[in-house]
């Protein structure tokens, strides 16, 4: 008898039939006596279609106008879902981001949620309405519409769950939960019953595509009970929660991220402050850098390589070229034909042999490693994209994740 | 160097090319030194497509949700138009109805504008931005999105023009202006240079399809200078303004309205209050009634016929059936195979021969008249729809409107 937040992605509401299925699932939860708050993304390809419309007219329109345009997508899906619930004989009310009280900063396209003024949502809950909220969007202090970027609807769902003190936040997706590896790559991969926020965070940011890392960060920060489950069946799903430290070797899963690109700056001057100049400049322009590798300087020169999201490759190169004189390098080499393969597990920090075991698996599979990055709970390597699937399988089997 | 409001309909922004053409026209006006505020409808068939999406899911979804859904259409078109203007090197900012300060009552689907809080629009004008406003929409006192119904964008344009004290409100359409008759029906019809608010009001409400009557009423009330002109060329258009009373016979135009239906209640009890019961009940349910005809009572019974908009035919019949016992009639006869033909002109009131001349024209063309309605500046007749076009031509020629 508490508040349950349910989030449905774009493919779950892609057409009339799926919208009706989602409506039925929501009504089932409501009939159990819970207050239900739903967060929905835009239908299927709507966002892509809108981006294409904009591109035809002006590939460089302002980000403010782009957010105005894209936010219409969720406005359509929330209204349709509310009508679907009404057709089942239940009361539903749809709310845009601003109506639901989502305020954000002004970073159009990648805005961060600032506060949720949840009075309206609470009022609708009190009126026994099922509340359908447009994910991915909010307004800034100027009353302009903003969008939250990739995975924004997950973040919207966790944020409203935190704001309302919801008992549960269910993220519905097209898989049963979090797996030890992508089941399309590793057929004998199996579903995890639970996973810690930190492990999920690494998996999320490493291309597991189940939950966006921003939403997991927020869930961890506010202690939101998350469940990842399928919108296609009634299986249990994977619970994401705070867990006690584990000491034993515990590799939980293998992830693959193909949306990664590598940039190498050749013959950079070997002097203090160069790395600072490069990475502060990129950060200022919202280009996130992941793995960084720096060669040992020879004859006053060194090479600096790093990875960025594939989407940021062009802008990163443009920025670097603009600042070529300040940074002082000879040449840029770049490729997006690479993939990042990662193993994740909270027990890893105490087991130095884990990384070596991963490298051994890749060596046995004759796969060359370009870059390596480690943290307390993960080891990531960069390999050629053509070897990515084979690498996932080899690593998965090596750790007996079956 | 004043403020000019320009309104563009859905067909004017139906695709990328047309959006660019509209953008160029707006920029031309802006370059002349004017402040430009633009009101836009949803692109082409967007609204119809959204209605179809809703119908698939729930043909009887709440009107609130329908407005939430439909208002996304203009949100798309304003963003695209702003981007188009940006691509020409000028600053533009798009605003939804609520961002532009349009507050309305809560009659979802047919809301009336209450107040415009125009501070944001003024601020954008002061910042030298071209302001692009979503027509057809606003918000009510609960912060819920409303739509204004048919011709709503015309009304939005005139309302913001009145609110800002704009020097001119240009309504762009796909014809050159207001004609003496529909040029597709009467090839030798010609364009009027100017027309009074009252005459336009009759023409608008009589199916001339150029301007919606609500917008003309508002323009008259606030003295907004209106111009109806083509978005496809630079012709002068028709000025709609207050004109001094004219004494001479002056039939300005002939209009045809096919979207009309006739309902006849057969053998109604001939007693006081019957008409009141019928028409107050219909009015309460937002069914507008136009021409009313009542037969002389015989043997305690009479017939009452009236016309409604075709869209309201089903609901009107349903309402009448529900109240059959209270009203006391024997049978309902209804048809939408009728058209209303009207002549309009401010001088008509002083010329009793005008109506007779119109009837003569129809008699000569062998067209039967079902109902007649007259006002100070118009005469309307109901004829079979199959005779409508012939009727317009006959009447047009009779009054030498060539």
* Other residues' Cβ atoms within 10 Å of the Cβ of residue B357: 16
CB contact under 8 A, B57 and A96: no
Q: How confident is the model at residue A293 (pLDDT cuts 50, 70, 90)?
A: confident
CA distance A86 to chain B (A): 6
CA distance A10 to chain B (A): 16
More confident residue, B231 or A38: A38
Which tokens hold the place of B150? 């048919």
Lowest mean pLDDT, pick from A241-245, A280-284, A325-329: A241-245
Closest residue in B to A93 (Cα) is: B65
Mean local confidence (pLDDT), B79-103: 98
* Other residues' Cβ atoms within 10 Å of the Cβ of residue A267: 16
Which tokens hold the place of B208? 């001339």
Which tokens hold the place of B253? 């135009």
Q: Of B54, B92, B145, which is closest to A83 when you measure between CB atoms?
A: B54
d(C-alpha B63, C-alpha B73), whole Å: 16
Q: How confident is the model at residue B375 (pLDDT cuts 50, 70, 90)?
A: confident
Q: Does the structure show a pLDDT above 80 at B204?
A: no
- The torsion region of residue B361 among left (phi > 0), alpha (psi -120 to 50) and beta comes to alpha
d(C-alpha A66, C-alpha A63), whole Å: 5
| pTM of the entire predicted model | 0.80
CA angle A56, A58, A59 (to 5 degrees): 85
CB burial of residue B263 (10 Å; 0-12, 13-18, 19+) = buried
* A93 neighbourhood in chain B, CB within 8 Å: 64-65
Q: What is the pLDDT of residues B309-324, one digit of tens each?
A: 999 999 999 999 999 9
Phi, psi (degrees; rounded to nearest 5) at A259: -85, 45
Q: Of B57, B68, B92, which is closest to A16 when you measure between CB atoms?
A: B57
CB contact under 8 A, A86 and B58: yes
d(C-alpha A377, C-alpha A223), whole Å: 20
Q: What is the pLDDT at residue B207?
A: 63
CB contact under 8 A, B65 and A83: yes
Q: How confident is the model at residue B46 (pLDDT cuts 50, 70, 90)?
A: very high
d(C-alpha B66, C-alpha B60), whole Å: 9
d(C-alpha B67, C-alpha B167), whole Å: 31
Q: What is the pLDDT of residues A204-250, one digit of tens each?
A: 766 667 788 889 989 999 999 999 999 888 899 999 988 765 545 57
CA distance B160 to chain A (A): 19
Closest residue in B to A132 (Cα) is: B65
CB contact under 8 A, B54 and A86: no
Crossing angle (nearest 10°) for helices A46-57 and B63-87: 30
Q: Of A66, A78, A87, which is closest to B58 when you measure between CB atoms?
A: A87
Using an 8 Å Cβ cutoff, are A212 and A204 in contact? yes
Identify the H or E element spanning B341. Answer: strand B331-344
Closest residue in A to B93 (Cα) is: A65
Which tokens hold the place of B200? 């336009």
Q: Does the structure show a pLDDT above 90 at A287?
A: no
| In B115-271, alpha helices (H) | 119-126, 152-164, 197-205, 213-222
d(C-alpha A73, C-alpha B75), whole Å: 10
Q: How confident is the model at residue A74 (pLDDT cuts 50, 70, 90)?
A: very high
Q: What is the pLDDT at residue B402?
A: 58
Q: What mean pLDDT value characterizes chain A?
A: 90
Crossing angle (nearest 10°) for helices B213-222 and B197-205: 160
Mean local confidence (pLDDT), A338-365: 83
Q: What Cα–Cα distance (Å) separates residue A153 from each residue in A260, A317, A391?
A: 22, 30, 31
Residue partners of A119: CB distance under 8 A and separation at least 6? A101
Burial B306-344 (b: 16+ CB within 10 A, else e): bbbbeebbeebeebbeeeeeebbbeeeebebebbbbbbb
d(C-alpha A199, C-alpha A202), whole Å: 5
3-class SS at A324? Answer: helix
Per-range mean pLDDT, top range of A123-127, B290-294, B355-359, B371-375? A123-127
CA distance A233 to chain B (A): 22
CA distance B105 to chain A (A): 18
Crossing angle (nearest 10°) for helices A353-364 and A388-398: 130
* B144 neighbourhood in chain A, CB within 8 Å: 99
* B69 neighbourhood in chain A, CB within 8 Å: 75-76, 79-80, 83
Residues of B at the A interface, defined by Cβ within 8 angstroms: 16, 19-20, 50, 53-54, 56-58, 60-62, 64-66, 68-69, 71-73, 75-76, 78-80, 82-84, 86-87, 92-94, 96, 99, 120, 143-145
Chain A interface mutation, best of B74, B83, B129, highest count of A Cβ atoms under 10 Å: B83
Closest residue in A to B87 (Cα) is: A58
CB contact under 8 A, B144 and A69: no
Q: Biggest alpha carbon distance in chain A?
A: 77
Could you write out the DSSP letters of every residue in A178-189?
Answer: -BSS-TTT-TT-
* B54 neighbourhood in chain A, CB within 8 Å: 79-80, 83
d(C-alpha B226, C-alpha B228), whole Å: 7
Identify the H or E element spanning A18. Answer: helix A16-31
Per-range mean pLDDT, top range of A253-257, B106-110, B358-362? B106-110
Residue partners of A310: CB distance under 8 A and separation at least 6? A258, A259, A260, A261, A336
| In A100-227, alpha helices (H) | 119-126, 152-164, 197-203, 213-222
Mean local confidence (pLDDT), A279-284: 86
Instruction: Report which of A75, A72, A145, A65 is spatially closest to residue A111, judged by C-alpha positions.
Output: A145
* Other residues' Cβ atoms within 10 Å of the Cβ of residue B272: 6
Q: What is the pLDDT of residues B272-288, one digit of tens each?
A: 778 888 888 888 888 88
Instruction: Report which of B387, B262, B391 is spatially closest to residue B336, judged by C-alpha positions.
Output: B262
The C-alpha torsion from B361 through B363 and B367 to B368, rounded to 10°, is 130
Q: Does the structure show a pLDDT above 70 at A183?
A: yes
Q: What is the pLDDT at residue A208?
A: 64
Q: Does the structure show a pLDDT above 60 at B249?
A: no
Instruction: Report which of A349, A353, A355, A352 is spatially closest to residue A369, judged by C-alpha positions.
Output: A355
Q: Are strands B331-344 and B378-384 parallel, antiparallel or unpaired?
A: antiparallel
d(C-alpha B366, C-alpha B373), whole Å: 20
Q: How confident is the model at residue A300 (pLDDT cuts 50, 70, 90)?
A: confident
CB contact under 8 A, A58 and B93: no
Distance of CA B134 to the CA centre of its chain: 18
Instruction: Report which of B2, B8, B1 is spatially closest to residue B82, judged by C-alpha positions.
Output: B8
Q: What is the pLDDT at residue B214?
A: 86
Q: What is the pLDDT at residue A395?
A: 92
Q: What is the pLDDT at residue B349?
A: 64
* A143 neighbourhood in chain B, CB within 8 Å: 99, 120
Mean local confidence (pLDDT), A65-93: 98
CB contact under 8 A, A72 and B68: no
Mean local confidence (pLDDT), B70-99: 98
d(C-alpha A216, C-alpha A228), whole Å: 11
Closest residue in B to A15 (Cα) is: B53
* Sheet containing B289-294, strands listed edge to edge, beginning at the edge strand earlier in sequence: B289-294, B301-309, B253-269, B331-344, B378-384, B371-375
d(C-alpha A391, C-alpha B11), whole Å: 54
Q: What is the pLDDT at residue B105?
A: 96
Chain B interface mutation, best of A50, A80, A95, highest count of B Cβ atoms under 10 Å: A80
Q: What is the pLDDT at residue B79?
A: 98
More confident residue, B349 or B255: B255
Q: What is the pLDDT at residue A350?
A: 64
Mean local confidence (pLDDT), B68-97: 98
Q: What is the pLDDT at residue B244?
A: 62
d(C-alpha A398, C-alpha B73), whole Å: 53
Measured in Å, how far apart are chain A's first and last C-alpha atoms? Answer: 38
* B82 neighbourhood in chain A, CB within 8 Å: 61-62, 65, 68
d(C-alpha A301, C-alpha A294), whole Å: 11
CA distance B337 to chain A (A): 34
Share of chain A above pLDDT 90, in %: 60
Which tokens hold the place of A235? 């299986």
Share of chain B above pLDDT 70, in %: 95
* Sheet containing A137-139, strands listed edge to edge, beginning at the edge strand earlier in sequence: A113-116, A102-104, A137-139, A145-147
CA distance B284 to chain A (A): 25
Q: Biggest alpha carbon distance in chain B?
A: 77
Which tokens hold the place of B215? 């917008």
Q: How confident is the model at residue A354 (pLDDT cuts 50, 70, 90)?
A: confident
Residue partners of B184: CB distance under 8 A and separation at least 6? none
More confident residue, A188 or B313: B313
Q: How confident is the model at residue A95 (pLDDT cuts 50, 70, 90)?
A: very high
3-class SS at B375? Answer: strand
Chain A interface mutation, best of B48, B50, B67, B75, highest count of A Cβ atoms under 10 Å: B75
* B64 neighbourhood in chain A, CB within 8 Å: 93
CA distance B84 to chain A (A): 6
Phi, psi (degrees; rounded to nearest 5) at A276: -55, -50
CB burial of residue B56 (10 Å; 0-12, 13-18, 19+) = middle
CA distance B309 to chain A (A): 27
CB contact under 8 A, B61 and A99: no
Q: What is the pLDDT at residue B297?
A: 67
Mean local confidence (pLDDT), B245-269: 82
Residues of A at the B interface, defined by Cβ within 8 angstroms: 16, 19-20, 50, 53-54, 56-58, 60-62, 64-66, 68-69, 71-73, 75-76, 78-80, 82-84, 86-87, 92-94, 96, 99, 120, 143-145
- Per the DSSP assignment, residues forming a β-bridge with A371 are A382
Q: What is the pLDDT at residue A36?
A: 98
CA distance B64 to chain A (A): 8
């Amino acid at each position: 008898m508490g508040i349950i937040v349910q989030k449905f992605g774009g493919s779950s509401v892609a057409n009339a039939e799926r919208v009706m299925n989602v409506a039925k699932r929501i009504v089932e939860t409501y009939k159990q006596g819970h207050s239900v708050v739903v967060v929905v993304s835009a239908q299927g390809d709507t966002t892509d279609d809108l981006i294409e419309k904009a591109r035809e007219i002006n590939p460089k329109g302002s980000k403010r106008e782009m957010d105005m345009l894209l936010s219409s997508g969720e406005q359509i899906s929330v209204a349709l879902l509310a009508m679907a619930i009404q057709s089942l004989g239940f009361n539903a009310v749809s709310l845009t981001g601003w109506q639901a009280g989502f305020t954000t900063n002004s970073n159009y396209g990648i805005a961060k949620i600032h506060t949720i003024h949840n009075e309206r949502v609470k009022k609708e809950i009190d009126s026994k309405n099922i509340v359908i909220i447009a994910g991915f969007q909010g307004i800034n202090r100027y009353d302009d519409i903003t969008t939250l970027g990739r995975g924004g609807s997950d973040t919207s769902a966790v944020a409203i769950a935190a704001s309302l003190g919801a008992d549960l936040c269910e993220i519905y997706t097209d898989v049963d939960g979090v797996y030890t590896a992508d089941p399309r790559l590793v057929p004998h991969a199996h579903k995890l019953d639970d996973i810690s926020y930190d492990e999920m965070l690494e998996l999320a940011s490493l291309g597991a595509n189940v939950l966006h890392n921003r939403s997991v960060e927020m869930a961890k920060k506010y202690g939101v009970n998350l469940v990842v489950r399928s919108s296609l069946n009634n299986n249990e799903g994977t619970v994401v929660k705070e867990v006690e430290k584990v000491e034993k070797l515990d590799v939980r899963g293998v992830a693959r991220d193909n949306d990664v690109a590598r940039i190498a700056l050749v013959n950079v001057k070997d002097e203090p402050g160069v790395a600072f100049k490069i990475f502060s400049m990129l950060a200022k322009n919202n280009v996130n850098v992941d793995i960084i590798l720096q060669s040992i300087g020879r004859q006053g020169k060194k090479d600096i390589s790093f990875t960025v999201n594939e989407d940021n490759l062009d802008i990163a190169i443009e920025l670097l070229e603009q600042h070529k004189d300040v940074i002082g390098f000879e040449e840029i080499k770049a490729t997006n034909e690479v993939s990042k393969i990662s193993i994740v597990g909270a027990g890893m920090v105490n087991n130095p042999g884990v990384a070596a075991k991963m490298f051994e698996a890749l060596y046995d599979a004759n796969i060359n490693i370009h870059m390596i990055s480690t943290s307390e709970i993960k080891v990531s390597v960069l390999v050629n994209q053509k070897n990515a699937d084979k690498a996932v399988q080899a690593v998965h089997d090596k750790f007996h994740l079956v």
